[in-house]
Structure 1
Amino acid sequence: MAEHPPYPVGLRLTGRRVVVLGGGQVAQRRLPALIGAGADIHLVSPEATPSVEAMADAGEITWHRRPYAEGDLADAWYALIATSDPEANTAASAEAETHRVWCVRSDDADQATAWTPATGHSEGVTVAVLTTDARGRDPRHTAAVRDAVVEGLRDGTLVAPHHRTRTAGVALVGGGPGDPDLITVRGRRLLAEADVVIADRLGPRDLLAELPPHVEVIDAAKIPYGRYMAQEAINNALVEHARQGKSVVRLKGGDPYVFGRGMEELQALTEAGIPCTVVPGISSSVSVPGAAGIPVTHRGVAHEFTVVSGHVAPDDERSLVDWPSLAKLTGTLVVLMGVDKIGRIAETLMAHGKSPHTPVALVQEGTTAAQRRVDATLATVADTVVAQDVRPPAVIVIGDVVAVGPDGTAA
């Protein structure tokens, strides 16, 4: 038997009796998949781990609290033998053979009639890997192959095109703060499957170079606006390409709903009857400070953080930010899009009671190879920005967390 490879097959176990002998770590690892398959699971074991016991308490499995006995496998479709008693395992394996029950043995794979593959899942696809080398099975190699395939499917580096007609639509994808590795797995997969990508300037540009040649990449900043405002033109472009039956990705920096105007795009698509998927992204408001060594919260220093837009000054009638109230908060203030307004922001905060000595950090092009951090205080930040030539994009962090060192104490 060892000279021939196993025959791979997917068992449909919904409602069918499955017997698991032994309630230890092997059962703990295997039971969730069997439960997920809808099997009628009977566990035979005098003892079980706390996790397995919790499955029984929740009614997910039926637990017979005793050792294996002849006849336990008579009506089973599938059996997992994983007790610590070699004699019981051998006897159960023999019974499985008699009743023609496919049987997995954790202690001796060569004596089993079935092997459990290393499995992984990605968007409706199950990847199952078995070692077929007659010279010996290598579980670590098998798991590594599984992980490589699943990871490739998830991040889009292993592209498996859909050959059936796909539903046209738009995905609003948050690309994260800039480092291409910080986009979500789902976002990267949707990028790999796109026909058209409409990208922001602040999106992870390196990912665009990985797209197949047939993908049309459109720079949102260069869409002809004509009589439309910029956002209206982008909305129209999304609708137009989706109506052509294409899969469209709107690649945005950070998160689509954190000062990204994602809801405006979703509303335009909904009005046009275009299906839309929103994929959250890692917001620069927390990730960029973190990449620069700044925690936006820290025990004993800051119990809250507030994220505000600085694209309009505090004295601008269009501003919706309650700057006087922000000045009274003791937590962390994160300002996005505020480099050119930071002087007036600092003046307003100090005018309403914020200490001039409050630490400030400006992190330019965070998470990218060009990242740099510039430190100042509220009193000095306006001059520091000019002297250090700080330019957008930059995340501004205001508060005592800026001075917290890696040892957990204020610098």
Structure 2
Amino acid sequence: MNDLTQINQENERLAALKSYNILDTKPEKDFDDIAELASQICQVPISSITLMDKDRQWFKSKVGFDYTEVSIENSFCSFLMMNNMKEIEVENMKIHPYFQTNPHVIGEPNIAFYAGVLLIDPDGHTLGSLCVYDLEPKRLSDFQLNALQKLAHQVIKLLELRKKNALLEENNASLLSKYNELEQFARVVSHDIKSPLNNIISLTNLFQDEYGNVIDEAGNEYLEYISKSSLELKNFVDAILIYYKSDTINTTEKEEIDWNSLFNKIISMLDSKNEYEITLPSHNSIELYSNKMAMEQIISNLISNSIKYNDKEKVKIEIELTELPSEILLSIKDNGIGIAESDFEKVFSFFTTLGKKDRFDNIGTGIGLSTVQKMVHKLDGRIELESEIGRGSTFKLYFKK
């Protein structure tokens, strides 16, 4: 192997070691426990988990001594690496041709016995070693050597787990940053887009009321297009805000759901003129602890859809509550236009619509049902759909007791 190849391999090894972000970190109980266990199993007073930096051997965990690092020149572990050895056992360091002049052998702490197993990452890079030492010559049993190897594997697993946790924390920090940006975006959308849209809608309606009788039919049509398009855009913006604001609801905050109060509140908002035939559950005393705000969003969205996507002269909606052995079933059934079975999955997809106009001549945003599904999942529930074209739909929501 030429010098350039050796340099490249060492650079790769050091890069692998750096990727764990563990050098010069504080003691950690999981690593300290392994070092302590190695000492106890091998019946020696000194043990260590070491990592090999460029010019030093640093001790992540140690038993029986105080210093935190030694130079590469005085390192025992460097001998294994130089000789491509995965493990070593030296019964008497004082007569070993390489170790007998080591300052840690001829001076404090006067090491006489040394055994070590290299720590090799999943990509084959040597990171350091798990070592045990004694002040008297000795020999480990096969059981002790085997245990030392297994403990070395556990050190690698800990290092890998530590790296993954660090990556998760980094990703969480990135997601939090993006979430904060999203909240800022929502505030901007809410103020800087919705306010002008509301003004356009109001001014268009005012213009039609004041001057509709003095402009021709084409002009009134144009005004109607402006009003309708602005209203569609406003509904779209509202739907997006509701979808993303649903992430801010802390679904761990639960209370007993007052079904009567909840249904009455939703129906008073969606059927203020008492135009629709909405049948409430006959059993409203079924106990469920959940997040009231999330539940309200879910139910109001489904009832609103049942009203909008209904081509019958009389809109009929049946709401039922059923207590199952381990779940509460909430079903909302309507006599609307229905959904083809081939479109069941599609209706829950974000920004996906079936291209059909509702009873108010509007096309949906493709956001409502995806919001419902997301909220149901956040409540640790599940949603099922039963439907037939022309005969209506039934949404079944299952929540754990």
TM-score band, normalised by shorter chain: under 0.3
Q: Greater helix share, 1 or 2?
A: 2
When normalised by structure 2's length, the TM-score is: 0.24
Structure with max Cα Rg: 2
